[in-house]
Amino acid sequence: MTRVKAGMVLALAAGLMATSAGFAQQPEGKSRRRRVEEKPLELTPAQVTELTKVANERKLKVEDLFAAAKTYTPSGVMDEYVLFSSGGQSGQVFAIGVPSMRLLRSIAVFTPESWQGYGFAGDNDPVRAQMRINGRDVTWGDTHHPALSETGGDYDGQFLFIGDKANARMGVVDLRDWETKQIVKNPLTVSDHGAAFVTPNTEYVVESGQYATVLGYGYATPDKYKESYRGMVTFWKFDRAKGRVDTSASFAMELPPYWQDLADAGKGPSDGLVFINSFNVEMATGGVEKGKPPFEAGASQRDTDYLHIIDWKKAEAAFKAGKAEKINGFPVLSLATSVAEGLLFFTPEPKSPHGVDVTPNGQYAIVAGKLDPHVTVFSTAKIRDAIANQKFSGKDEFGVNVLAFDAVKEAQVELGLGPLHTQFDDKGYAYTSLFLDSAVARWSLGGEYASKHPEKPWTLVTKTPVHYNIGHLCAAEGDTVSPDGKYLIAMNKWSVDRFLTTGPLLPQNFQLVDISSGGTTMPVLYDMPVGVGEPHYCQMIKADKLKSWAVYPEVGWNPHTQSLDPNSPKQGKEGVIRDGSQVIVNMTAIRSHFTPEHVEVNEGDHVTWRIVAVERTQDATHGFCIGGYNINLSLEPGEYQEFSFVADRPGTYPIYCTEFCSALHLEMMGYLHVKPANAVGSK
Amino acid sequence: MTRVKAGMVLALAAGLMATSAGFAQQPEGKSRRRRVEEKPLELTPAQVTELTKVANERKLKVEDLFAAAKTYTPSGVMDEYVLFSSGGQSGQVFAIGVPSMRLLRSIAVFTPESWQGYGFAGDNDPVRAQMRINGRDVTWGDTHHPALSETGGDYDGQFLFIGDKANARMGVVDLRDWETKQIVKNPLTVSDHGAAFVTPNTEYVVESGQYATVLGYGYATPDKYKESYRGMVTFWKFDRAKGRVDTSASFAMELPPYWQDLADAGKGPSDGLVFINSFNVEMATGGVEKGKPPFEAGASQRDTDYLHIIDWKKAEAAFKAGKAEKINGFPVLSLATSVAEGLLFFTPEPKSPHGVDVTPNGQYAIVAGKLDPHVTVFSTAKIRDAIANQKFSGKDEFGVNVLAFDAVKEAQVELGLGPLHTQFDDKGYAYTSLFLDSAVARWSLGGEYASKHPEKPWTLVTKTPVHYNIGHLCAAEGDTVSPDGKYLIAMNKWSVDRFLTTGPLLPQNFQLVDISSGGTTMPVLYDMPVGVGEPHYCQMIKADKLKSWAVYPEVGWNPHTQSLDPNSPKQGKEGVIRDGSQVIVNMTAIRSHFTPEHVEVNEGDHVTWRIVAVERTQDATHGFCIGGYNINLSLEPGEYQEFSFVADRPGTYPIYCTEFCSALHLEMMGYLHVKPANAVGSK
């Protein structure tokens, strides 16, 4: 009746699709990138006419055509950079290709995400276990500041660290498989600034606090603010070989209850120092409900706050020498110790700064005071000198020595309203976001950078308007020892009218800015709506530095341990093993079936389910779910997972592959039969 | 010391930022779209040279330049279409602008999502409550088939329905605020096909099952398959005025334990009918672990499966006449009743089909049999005739009358390997995805469409390769009574080498295909990586049909009830009310402070927290979180939310705005003080 090609159907039906047959058109290895045309492109007059017609039909301007040509990335051509962006209160990290500005992937960190099978592995899910705080499931995060691991002050493409401001946690992502391996909860504070910054060889990941609390999750009313509340900075020791933070080798420092903000580590001549901004040195405690000034006013009264300067190498030595005290079981260098040992200094910085950013050569730390139209440039050599020679202008209320501003200041540059954050390029320019101006400012650096650009040192060169209300910005490798220039991302907080209205909740707007020319040319090339979270900060790495795995190294790989798992089921040895009410399921998954297809258990059984994807082809991912049981896995080629649950709901439950894997994907299913307790034994 | 513009700082500090001051550059109303240049674009020879240079630097080909010009969408220019795509096992829906292929927004449905504050409102979260199945939190979904509401067979832009295949649920999204309003659990089955299809005036949302189970969440071993397992289709009655499914006016039909698949409703002359595909009429039960053929082989033995033809208007009448029986409390028309009342008919359809798609004029239903190289065209008039005149070729094993294939078949068109799903344009063409060929086929319709195109009716016109393994496809308004043509999306399941390797888990690839020309021209314009889920199906609506709210209608709006909430706190009346251990917090949020800023409760208190965003400016969204307490809200302008929790963890917890709202956003904070039980009364 229907003329079916019998051979094909038989082949499919016989399960030959279980191998990679049928997945045509997958180039291998070297030929993966599209071959470059030998002959350069030339436009004929007819093509110019036609292109002009297309442009006019879409009401494009000449500059739009250029922006299109500078960003359009054809099928199979790879982006040059990857932008790792925090996802704000989505709790995730987003990886975005540059210059195409396409969201390549989300990486789940603090919030369970079922596409990645992250946090949906039953009762003893190791991901969920790490999310627990004080016995409570805290299944979201507010990711603010991702930090790529560094070697010699340059991104090495190995790991990514990301903080959770809301709950003072830090996640560790392994960039071989782009999965979160560890979540560390700060034992001192409930919330921080979500800051994660690394020292130049990723010796430590620096987590700076934000809103002062009673360290160790304590309680105190605001009238006890000065005596009971404290800030903190934590130095998480990173074990690169294990790919994990070593909490036992980590320590913290007590800080005054100013609100610490962004941090940056010194490099080159300033290696060994960490800089942290602060605001609310007023120690305002709000209380608008009692007729007091709200925090926004109370914390903005003084002209200056304190830039915190920490000698982390000396602090590490003090910690190792046993000079730390324990708070909530965690070693903390007290303020008194820090002062006595010369670990901590302040210097005044303009009013309510947000970003502190060290120049690539390590010679300057630049502070953007958001309520001050200037950026302030501090000389790290002068800071070292002022520390060595005790050029103090006094002490703060907690006894910390304050370096004389004039002794450490190099320059101040007036840029405009609301400067927040500064990045760098390869031409001796700095770029600062201006929140209130809704603009990116390019300005010239001085010192040894002065010879790299034609402008006068320390001067504003140009501003480009952005849309709207830019928070952070990010230049290509723009906070490393060797920035690339080329591209800059303006991370705009509001989009308002830039995109279609998506209900009352609008996307943010990442704008790609072309910084490849110097001088006053700095066009916006592309608007990217970000409608999956509210990113705060990002870092942009050259794509070829990433050495991602295409598939897991071996079949049976456990991504939680990053090693071959001895429990991984073997093909031919699948089945169900029962020991009393303890049941172990050993299952394999391959296009297009699970083995076994039927799993029978009794109501109340404790089920441990082991499953491995026996696939070696890139992109041959399977899913695995149990309907109604809140279980979903993503099983990438070679991946092994174990999950467990109590079979407390009787019934016959479909199990199926949730990732469309082959033409017979819909047939890749089975059933979990949970025999009702009242029927057990009656079969 | 630092030269600060005193006026600005004072204004900021005094809280004037609390109004919309400081948010410059936000055009209002009519001028929101970028003004079109009066003069059409013309490229000078120098510009052509420069453009060619840019293209060559980026190794673009001529066709790439054209594709760039056809897709690049400048800042502030709106996309012409919105693609609503399922997010697969992410549990969400994604809205994508076309032709720019930018992800505008995620809409959380079955999986809690913290950026949207969806499912993070404490103990009695109405969202989480709806996610519970059988007392268990099922906090993810496998969204497959979104359906836009229709009026007269055309999208009306009011609502979006989306199914959860894994757990047999359906979500209702209100497209005024793009939020999920309702999740309905199917009481008959644990998992379905995630299908949501509407009748032409959205009288019903049709949910077809997939893997047969024991209806009512029952249990039976596979040897009882034929007698105990059943398929189903559910007709959810939609109350448009309430914007909710009326479960009390909904019903289902028992179906044989074939695996039902996609569905489509008739329109025009076929209005009143619903078509549902099926596969596994073999009733294979797998059992590869026992040496039986796996499901993939067992379910692919016969040459034909059964297209289900349901007269839903007669079924509705039978339901209203009380002819349904109750299963798990839900009315179900039995197979016997359906046969006796003439509600259900079958006709053979080629082997293991996936899509059944009704042409815009309602005259044909097109079935793509994925293991058959043809699409089969059924005439809906012939189907009506065959039913009326009992042109049966027999009955199936369950007594359902089978319409003679030759009596209802109009044509068969050979297209290639693995046809899955068909959509339509405005020029008399159909488009079918070919999974195994990795191609989109354009073919010519016959009947009254024959005069619209130059080709012979019912013939293949051309194929365009896509990358790789296309599942569904979607043309602009391509399943309505009046398709637009222009654009088609190829929803490719594998991306392999199209993008940078993002670890072993790769994005899917949406390719934008230009279908504006007829004939053999059908270029791919754009590759969009989808790295936030695995979409299955989408619908593309003209953007100007959406009447989204820019802000909530009034301050105090409760999005759960879509009405003004009497409990919404009033400015000036904020505060904390205590009644024993019951505490009510009334809080307002406005740039840049919460009132009150301090909330003091006792350990163990039951806290009900009411908060409203007193904002009327578009995009002036606030967040609200309590560190460590797993609470985060997104408060769009005017929005009111209530949440509750037990203050069971003593300590001082920062609360803060999680959406960067103003220059003094970081100062928009406060503290929740939970006084330890052992200190209560000792103050």
What is the count of structural domains for chain B?
A: 2
Residue at which a domain ends, from B504, B519, B545: B545
Both B562 and B528 in one domain: the answer is: no
φ and ψ at A139, to 5 degrees? -105, 35
pLDDT tens-digit series, residues A557-603: 999 999 999 999 999 999 999 999 999 999 999 999 999 999 999 99
Strands B582-590 and B606-613: parallel
Residue range B435-486, pLDDT digits in tens: 999 999 999 999 999 999 999 999 999 999 999 999 999 999 999 999 999 9
B105 in contact with A, Cβ within 8 Å: yes
Q: Is residue B30 part of a domain?
A: no
Question: Do A343 and A212 sit in the same domain of this protein?
Answer: yes
Cross-chain CB nearest to B66 (options A54, A653, A673): A54
Do residues B197 and B205 lie in contact, with contact meaning Cβ atoms separated by under 8 Å? yes
Task: Give the chain A residue whose CA is nearest to the CA of B419.
Answer: A663
pLDDT the model gives residue A5: 42
Flag whether the pTM goes above 0.80: yes
B103 contacts in chain A (CB < 8 Å) = 103, 529, 531-532
Across A262-266, A676-680, B7-11, B78-82, least confident range: B7-11
- CB of B60 within 8 Å of any CB in chain A? yes
Q: Are residues A347 and A431 in the same domain?
A: yes
B139 vs A contacts (CB less than 8 Å): 112, 120, 630
Mutate to test the interface with B, among A597, A603, A617, A631 (most CBs of B within 10 A): A597
Question: Could you read off the pLDDT of B207-222 as tens digits, one per residue?
Answer: 999 999 999 999 999 9
Contact A37 B25 (CB under 8 A): no
Distance separating alpha carbons of residues A352 and A434, to the nearest angstrom: 14
Same domain, B540 and B568: no
Residue B141: partners with Cβ closer than 8 Å, 6 or more residues away: A114, B89, B91, B109, B110, B111, B164, B165, B166, B167, B169, B171
- In chain B, residues with a C-beta closer than 8 Å to the C-beta of A303 are 1-2, 4
Residue A28 has pLDDT above 70, yes or no: no
- A515 and A566 assigned to the same domain: no
Provide the ipTM.
0.95
Which chain B residue has the Cα nearest residue A290?
B596
CA distance B75 to B83: 19
SS3 B337: helix
* Domain harbouring A420, CATH code: 2.130.10.10
Three-state DSSP class for residue A272: coil
Do the chains contact at B23 and A531, CB–CB below 8 Å? no
At residue A310, does pLDDT exceed 90?
A: yes
Residue of B nearest to A95 (CA): B502
For the stretch A630-650, pLDDT in tens is: 999 999 999 999 999 999 999
Q: Are residues B462 and B606 in the same domain?
A: no
Residues B531-558 have a mean pLDDT of 98
Tell me the mean pLDDT in the region A334-342: 98
Q: Which residues of B touch A552 (CB under 8 A)?
A: 504
Proportion of chain B above pLDDT 90, given as a percent = 90
Is B654–A191 a contact, with Cβ atoms under 8 angstroms apart? Answer: yes
Residues A399 and A327 reside in one and the same domain: yes
A142 touches chain B (CB under 8 A): yes
Contact (CB, 8 A) for B403 and B387: yes
Q: What is the mean pLDDT of residues B308-315?
A: 98
* Contact flag B376-A2 (C-beta cutoff 8 Å): yes
Output the domain CATH number for residue A673. Answer: 2.60.40.420
A489 found inside a domain = yes
Share of chain A above pLDDT 90, in %: 90
Contact A191 B628 (CB under 8 A): yes
Of the candidates B263, B269, B304, B273, the one whose C-alpha atom is nearest the C-alpha of residue B447 is B269
Among A533, A566, A591, the domain boundary falls at A533
**Residue B17 predicted with pLDDT over 90:** no
**Residue of chain B whose alpha carbon sits nearest to that of A20:** B436
Q: Looking at residue B680, what is its pLDDT?
A: 65
Amino acid A16: pLDDT: 36
A77 domain-assigned: no
Q: Which residues pair with B294 in a beta bridge?
A: none
For residue B299, give the chain A residue with the closest CA.
Answer: A667
Report the residue of chain A nearest B90, measured CA to CA. A115
What pLDDT shows up at residue B38? 61
Closest-CA residue of A relative to B630 is: A138
The answer on pLDDT for B21 being more than 50 is no
Residue B108 shares a structural domain with residue B204: yes
Query: In this structure, are A529 and A631 located in the same domain?
Result: no
**A553 chain-B contacts, CB cut-off 8 A:** none
Q: Do the Cβ atoms of B2 and A350 come within 8 Å?
A: yes
CB contact under 8 Å between B469 and A65, yes or no, is no
Residue B6 — very low, low, confident or very high, per pLDDT cuts 50/70/90?
very low
Whether B23 maps to a domain, the answer reads no
Examine residue B16 and state whether it is found in any structural domain, yes or no: no
pLDDT for the residue A38: 61
The residue ranking higher by pLDDT, A488 or B196, is A488
Indicate yes or no: CB of B628 within 8 angstroms of CB of A133.
yes
pLDDT band at B681 (very low <50, low <70, confident <90, very high): low
List, in sequence order, every beta strand (DSSP E) within B152-270.
154-164, 169-174, 179-185, 197-198, 204-208, 231-239, 244-255, 259-265
- Both tokens of residue A663? 């033409």
Q: Give kind and range of the element (H or E) at residue B308.
A: strand B304-311
Task: Please say if the pLDDT value at position B134 is more than 90.
Answer: no
User: A68 and chain B: CB distance < 8 Å anywhere?
Assistant: yes
Cα–Cα nearest to A669, from B195, B225, B494, B296: B296
- Return d(Cα B364, Cα B268) in angstroms, integer: 11
DSSP A224: G
B499 and B580 fall within a common domain: no
Quick one: average pLDDT of A419-447? 98
Q: pLDDT (tens digit, 9 = 90+) per residue, B575-621?
A: 999 999 999 999 999 999 999 999 999 999 999 999 999 999 999 99
Looking at residue A370, what is its pLDDT? 86
What SS3 state is found at A196? coil
Q: Do A43 and B61 touch (CB under 8 A)?
A: no
Spatial contact of A585 and A7, defined as CB atoms under 8 Å apart: no
The H or E element spanning position B368 is strand B364-369
Does the CB of B11 have a partner CB in chain A at under 8 Å? no
Does residue B85 carry a pLDDT above 50?
yes
Contact at CB, B12 and A133, closer than 8 angstroms: no
Does B24 score more than 50 pLDDT?
A: no
Looking at the structure, tell me whether residues B428 and B316 fall in a common domain: yes
Q: Kindly indicate the confidence band of residue A681, based on its pLDDT and cuts at 50, 70 and 90.
A: low
Tell me, yes or no, whether B74 lies in a domain. Answer: no
Last residue of a domain, one of A533, A567, A584: A533
| Least-confidence region, from B22-36, B75-89, B124-138, B223-237 | B22-36
Q: Is residue B310 part of a domain?
A: yes
B positions 150-169 inside 8 Å of A (CB):
166-168
- According to the model, what pLDDT value does residue B7 have? 40
| Residue A486 and residue A568 in one domain | no
Of B56, B630, B667, the CB nearest to A139: B630
- Asked if residue A642 belongs to a domain, the reply is yes
CB of A577 within 8 Å of a chain B CB? The answer is: no
In tens, the pLDDT along B638-668 reads 999 999 999 999 999 999 999 999 999 999 9
Does residue B682 surpass a pLDDT of 70?
Answer: no
Range of the domain at A401: 208-229+243-283+293-533
Q: Is the pLDDT of residue A6 over 80?
A: no
pLDDT for A195 equals: 75
pLDDT on residue A134: 86
